[in-house]
């Protein structure tokens, strides 16, 4: 059923391997494709949420930079026209606020681009890692159920994940098993999600499909909870940060302006 619809559905390596197992595994292949579609929707939500938060803060930083530069220039012009210099003999003191705002804007632009290319944006990185581990553990579970060996299951699952950590773990584990070693390296030096996966796997290797199914269920729940946390916290954090940036820019820049006006009024009296 799945193999017959290849012209209409793009099959990944896991789906192709499941379809090749025969008609008895067609249901598993369909369920895998549906699960992959659900995970791709989760990834898109995480990307759009992160991008929207980043763009909001970037826009606020750009506005704050413009306000700081414009108010600082106005204070400088007023000081030159009235010969009242609230900044003393060093006009460069007016530039520290605009300089900080412009530098922060540049940092957001460069950091956002580098972070998106390397996948190291806070919040998004943890969410994407859980989603990829959910796909990897689900793939290994299904591949083991159709008679694939550990090296074959790990190598095939590594082709459908994008997170570098999960992909490296799968390829290294496949290489260890081919050398006759255990799935888990001894001593284990993994951290975070990979360490959590190894906690589900018994060194004895009894009932591996059940162990991998438990791990797949865990990472599915984990990816959902991390996505929920991301979509609920990112708008709040980005809105607060954007407001603080604009408030700091206006308040610190107006401080020079009101100081100049105060000195002018004092000189008139």
Looking at residues 157-178, what average pLDDT do you find?
88
| Domain-located, residue 15 | no
**Which residues form the domain of 131?**
28-74+95-259
Looking at residues 187-216, what average pLDDT do you find?
78
Residue 107, token pair as written in the block: 């940092």
| Domain-located, residue 2 | no
Task: Tell me the C-alpha distance between 161 and 17, whole Å.
Answer: 16
Helix (H, G, I), strand (E, B) or coil at 86: coil
Q: Are residues 242 and 63 in contact, defined by beta-carbon separation less than 8 angstroms?
A: no
| Domain-located, residue 20 | no
Q: Radius of gyration (Cα) for the chain, nearest Å?
A: 28
Residue 163: which of 129, 122, 195 has the closest Cα? 129
Distance of CA 7 to CAs 1, 10, 21, 116, 251, Å? 12, 7, 19, 33, 62
Peptide bond into 187 cis (omega under 30): yes
**CB count, 10 Å around CB of 117?**
8
Task: Tell me the C-alpha distance between 175 and 134, whole Å.
Answer: 21
| Domain-located, residue 85 | no
* DSSP code for 4: G
SS3 string, 28-77, reads HHHHHHHHHHHHHHHHHHHHHHHHHHHHHHHHHHHHHHHHHHHHHHHHHH
Q: Could you tell me how many residues make up the chain?
A: 269
Looking at residues 20-27, what average pLDDT do you find?
72
Given a cut of 90, whether residue 227 has pLDDT beyond it is yes
Task: Tell me the C-alpha distance between 60 and 101, whole Å.
Answer: 10
| Domain-located, residue 227 | yes
In sequence order, the 6+-apart residues with CB closer than 8 A to the CB of 56 are: 238, 239, 242
What percent of the chain shows pLDDT beyond 90? Answer: 36
| Domain-located, residue 90 | no
Q: Are residues 132 and 166 in contact, defined by beta-carbon separation less than 8 angstroms?
A: yes
Q: Are residues 262 and 255 in contact, defined by beta-carbon separation less than 8 angstroms?
A: no
pLDDT in tens, 89-145: 556 666 777 888 889 999 989 988 888 888 788 889 999 999 999 999 999 999 988
pLDDT in tens, 31-90: 999 999 999 999 999 999 999 999 999 999 999 888 888 877 777 776 666 666 555 555
Task: Tell me the C-alpha distance between 179 and 38, whole Å.
Answer: 36
Q: How many domains would you assign to the chain?
A: 1
pTM score, whole prediction = 0.81
Counting Cα atoms < 13 Å in the Cβ hemisphere of 181 gives 12
């Amino acid at each position: 059923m799945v193999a017959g619809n290849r012209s209409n559905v793009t099959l990944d390596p896991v789906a192709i391997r499941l379809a090749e197992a025969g008609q008895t595994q067609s249901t598993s292949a369909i369920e895998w494709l549906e699960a992959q579609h659900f995970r791709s929707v989760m990834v898109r939500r995480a990307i759009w949420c992160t991008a929207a938060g980043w763009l909001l803060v970037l826009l606020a930083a750009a506005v704050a930079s413009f306000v700081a530069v414009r108010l600082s220039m106005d204070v400088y012009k007023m000081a030159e026209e009235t010969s009242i210099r609230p900044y003393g003999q060093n006009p460069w003191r007016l530039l520290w606020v605009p300089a900080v705002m412009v530098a922060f804007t540049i940092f957001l632009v460069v950091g956002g681009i580098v972070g998106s290319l390397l996948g190291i944006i806070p919040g998004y990185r943890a969410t994407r890692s859980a989603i990829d581990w959910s796909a990897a553990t689900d793939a290994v579970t299904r591949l083991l159920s159709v008679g694939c060996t550990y090296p074959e299951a790990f190598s095939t699952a590594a082709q459908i994940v994008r997170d570098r950590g999960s992909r490296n773990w799968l390829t290294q584990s496949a290489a260890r098993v081919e050398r006759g070693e255990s799935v888990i390296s001894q001593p284990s030096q993994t951290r975070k999600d990979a360490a959590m996966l190894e906690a589900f796997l018994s060194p004895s290797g009894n009932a591996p499909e059940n162990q991998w199914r438990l791990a797949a269920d865990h990472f599915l729940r984990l990816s959902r909870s991390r996505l929920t946390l991301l979509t609920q916290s990112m708008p709040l954090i980005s809105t607060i940060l954007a407001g603080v940036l604009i408030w700091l820019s206006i308040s610190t820049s107006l401080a020079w302006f009101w100081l100049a006006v105060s000195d002018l009024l004092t000189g008139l009296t």
